[in-house]
Every structure is written in structure tokens, then in C-alpha cells.
Amino acid sequence: MGIRIDCPHCGKPSMAPHEQAGKRARCSACEGIMRIPVPEATLSSARPSPPANSDAFTPYSVPNKAPIIVTAPSVTSRQRRRRRSALESALGAVVMLSVSIGGMAAGYVVLDKLGVLDRFKDKAVASQPVEQAHAAPRRQKRVLILPPTTIVEVPEQQPETIEVVPTSQTIVLPKTLNLPNNLDLDVVTLLEIPTATGFSITSVDDRLVLKGKTLRWHAVPETSEPIAGLTIRDGKLIFRWLTDAPDGGIAAVHNSILRIERPAGTETLAMRMPVFVDPIKLDFKKPVLRVTCGCDHPPPFDSIRLTILAGHDFPAFKTTGDNLSSMKVRSETIAMFNMPSSAEGVGIKFTMRKRGRTVGIDLHTRYRLPSNYEGSLTFSNGSKKRKEIENLMNLANNASLAMSNLQRDVLRRESELRRCQSMSTRRYIGRIIATDPSLVAEKNNCIRNAERALRNASADVLQASKLIVDLPAIKTELQATEHISSLVESIIAAHGFTHRFYFVVDGVEVDLVVSK
């Protein structure tokens, strides 16, 4: 039999062998530390008798060793106790819940018999709002019912035929019998021409022919169709369009001149009114400015001409290339503005070209510096170039101040290179002198670093020397940019270029687009 031990922490009984009496042990249930008691018989037998000649007494002490694990009861009994404790807890909870429900039911019965609940019910009913007799009905969802789709057949509309009749507007000429320069076919159809003897029409398109009193359009060489009527009756010139005139015939009429012959001489009228536009203003926000000849029924592109004139407030300029007074498609002219020398300044290139179904002029603004640098003249490009020149100026000024330091740095790098080259790579290994690979690698690395530093220092000296030599040219470049800036400001302040698109028919110039 062993020694029975009751755990002082959880009360769990355990058994320990007699050999472990007096030692510490760990409870297998709660893992608490406890001491194994020593039976009285063992204690008395183990205690030694005091010596005869000494009064000292030494008690018996149990060695303080590590606690042992005491064998616990079987797992089955432990599980049985756990289940019993869980069942007891559940039964207790059920009993408490039953007592609470029974108490609440008994209280409700007592309050109902005393009439307390009836009074609370009456107060609750009185506090509720009275429902209105005509309460608004609840809003119901609206359902959108679409009618069935029907296909409606729309009868094909025939083009309406509009007959142009002479207007009531009449131009009465002075006694000198001078005719106007232009005849607006869309407005004026009745013109008083006294003492006229005859008239004829000349167009840039040979397919337009005047036969008698009718203008006929030969779309096909062997056939023709009437498109307009032109006659003189009672001293009045009457022009009338015929219905369904083709576009080619209408353009041919607009690009023609009318000759009226009288005893006093021959007068010519252009069969169109010019389009008036604003002058060309240079826009330095974009590198290219495009101006087109926007008019109705333009003549053939090869017959269109352009004249460009600058106002009196423009800076003086000279032109190279084609003449600005009579440019045609694929012609090019360069205008160079007032420059101190031919190597710098502002230039504008005028290029007349055909784009699709229109003819226009492209204006390219360029600038040139004394270093022969040429670029597009825009605000962004000019500002960028000016900053580059200013940075070069600052670098050149700094280079002249730092040249002595740069040269000393080159001398120091050369000395460092000589020191690296003179490094020894041999040492004693035992009792002999031999080459050490580690010293060889160290020397080569030192030489490479010194050579790289010397190259960089020499490049700095060379660049600084070049900047010092170019300093006068950089100053001239900066002055040229200031001159170009003032020149651009004067061009912007000017009124602009006046221009005129026209074509020539039988030696007569007919205006298409004219700037005011």
C-alpha cells in the first residue's frame, strides 16, 4: 500500500509509494505542487539517537529534489465525475428558470385580479391617435401601358422647285455710266443699263457658253443644258437662274466676268461678291498658322492667286523666294525681319498649298541665332532656348572662377595614380619573398580608381576651358535672344498682314477673299 495524499489545491486524492515520503510532488489533476507526508513509524525509525557526550541534535531533512508526478485515478472515473457535475449544473439551471417563470405567472394573475392591468390598457388606447374618416388611400404603383407600335409610311417628298424671280432692288447708275465692280447673283437680278449695245460672258471654265440670251452648260461635249438667262430689256439687265442648275454650272457662272459694250467703252463686272475677313495676326503659341480661302464655288486651284501686304507699323523685312504679291499653289516665300546681321533674326515662311478641296497659306515662324541654330519660334520653345543659353552663361562664369581648383585637382589625381603604380606586391611567405595575389588585386583596383578619377578631372578642365573660350559667343547669343524677344513684341503689336485671294479671267482680277 502506498501513502494516500489529498491535494491541498483541488482536493483530488492520490497515492504515492513509501520511497517518496517527504518529497515534493505535482498533482495530476490541477498540476499543483504538494509535499508527500512522512508516516510516523518511518519518521521515528529514521531519526538517529543523540550522542552520549553531546547535547546537539540534528533533525532529519528530506532532500529538496524535483517533484515527482503522482499517479492519478483512472480516466473513466474522472470522466464520470465531470459528467455528473455538468448534469447537476443543467438541472440547477432548469430549476431556476422554472421558479422564475412560475413567479412571473403568479404575479400576472395577482395583478389581473386587482384590476391594475385594465387601467394600463385604457391609458394605452387613449394615447393612440384617432384615425381620420377620410384617410388618404395608399399610393399605388403606376403602370405605364405603351400603345402598340405602328409603322407609318411617309410618302417620298419630291424636291421643291424654287423659281428665282428678279428682286425689286434696282441699281440706278450715275450719268457717267460707270458700272459696279461686282454683281451679286443671289441679291441683285435687275440692273439698269441705259444705252447698252451688247454683252458677253467669259468664264474660267470653257464649258459655260452664252448662246443668245441663255447661259448653257456643256457637261458633256456634245450636249448642253440651260442654267441661267441673261438679257437686256428696255435698258435693263436681267439675270435669272433656271431651275435645277447643276453645281458645276453654278460654279462656272460665279467664276466668270460679264462684259457690257457701249459706245462710251466696255465695262466688266465680276459675277460674285468677295468674302471679307480680318487680317492675319501671327500667333506665336503654335509653330504653324494656317489661313484658308473659304468661299463658295471656288475656281480651279491652279488659277487662285494670293497677295500679302504688311502694314506700315510692321518692322522692316526682306523677302526671298517667290513674290508675295502674286503667290500661287506650291509657291514659297521667306520674309526676314529687321536684323542687325544676316546670321540672326526672325523669319516667316509663307507656303501656299492645296489641302483637300481648299487652298490656303501656311505661316511658319522661325528664328536663327548667331551660332546658326534655327528653331520654331513659339513662346515655349523660345523660353526653353533662352534658359539653356543663360545656364551656359552661368557655367562659363563659374568655370573661369574654378579653373585653378580644377587644375589642382588634376595634379592631385596624377599623384594618386603614381602612388598606386608604385605599390609593392611581394612579401615574405615563410622565409622566402614571393608575389601575393591579394596585393596584386589591391594594386590593380587602386590603379583603376585613380585612372577613372583622373579622366573625370581632365574632362572637367577641358569643358571649363571650352566654356571660357566660348564665353564671348555665349554673350552674343544671349543678346540675340533679347533682340528677337523685342522684335516679336513689335510684330505682335502690329495690325497684321492684309491678304487677298483672287483669280484672273481674261486679264481681269476677281476677288475671292479679302481682308478688311
For every one of its 516 residues, what pLDDT tens digit does the chain have, with 9 covering 90 and above? 678 888 888 888 888 887 888 888 888 888 888 888 887 655 555 555 544 444 443 443 444 444 444 444 444 566 677 777 888 888 888 888 888 888 888 887 777 777 666 666 655 545 544 444 344 444 444 443 434 444 434 344 444 433 434 443 444 433 333 455 666 565 545 566 655 567 788 899 888 888 877 888 888 877 888 888 877 776 677 778 876 778 888 889 889 988 887 777 788 888 888 999 999 888 888 889 999 998 888 998 889 999 998 877 788 888 888 888 889 999 999 988 866 555 678 889 999 998 888 899 999 998 888 888 888 888 888 888 889 999 999 999 999 899 999 999 999 999 999 999 999 988 887 778 888 889 999 999 999 999 999 999 999 999 999 999 999 999 988 988 888 888 888 888 888 889 999 999 988 899 999 998
Map grid coordinates 513659339 to a residue: 378
Which of 69, 74, 61, 78 is closest to 17 using CA atoms? 69
pLDDT value of residue 206: 87
Which of 515, 508, 516 is closest to 255 using CA atoms? 508
Which of 266, 194, 199, 184 is closest to 230 using CA atoms? 199
pLDDT value of residue 121: 60
pLDDT value of residue 162: 36
User: Residue 511 to residues 8, 295, 499, 502: CA-CA distances in angstroms?
Assistant: 125, 10, 11, 4
Contact 338, 313 (CB under 8 A): no
pLDDT value of residue 472: 92
| C-alpha span between 13 and 6 (Å, rounded) | 4
Report the SS3 class of residue 400: helix
| C-alpha span between 280 and 275 (Å, rounded) | 15
pLDDT value of residue 188: 47
pLDDT value of residue 190: 56
The 8 Å CB, 24+ separation contacts for 70-74 are: 70/5, 70/14, 70/15, 70/16, 70/25, 70/26, 70/27, 70/28, 70/36, 71/14, 71/15, 71/16, 71/28, 72/12, 72/14, 72/27, 72/28, 72/29, 73/13, 73/14
CA angle (23 as vertex; 20, 27 as ends), nearest 5: 90
| C-alpha span between 273 and 179 (Å, rounded) | 14
Map grid coordinates 400576472 to a residue: 108
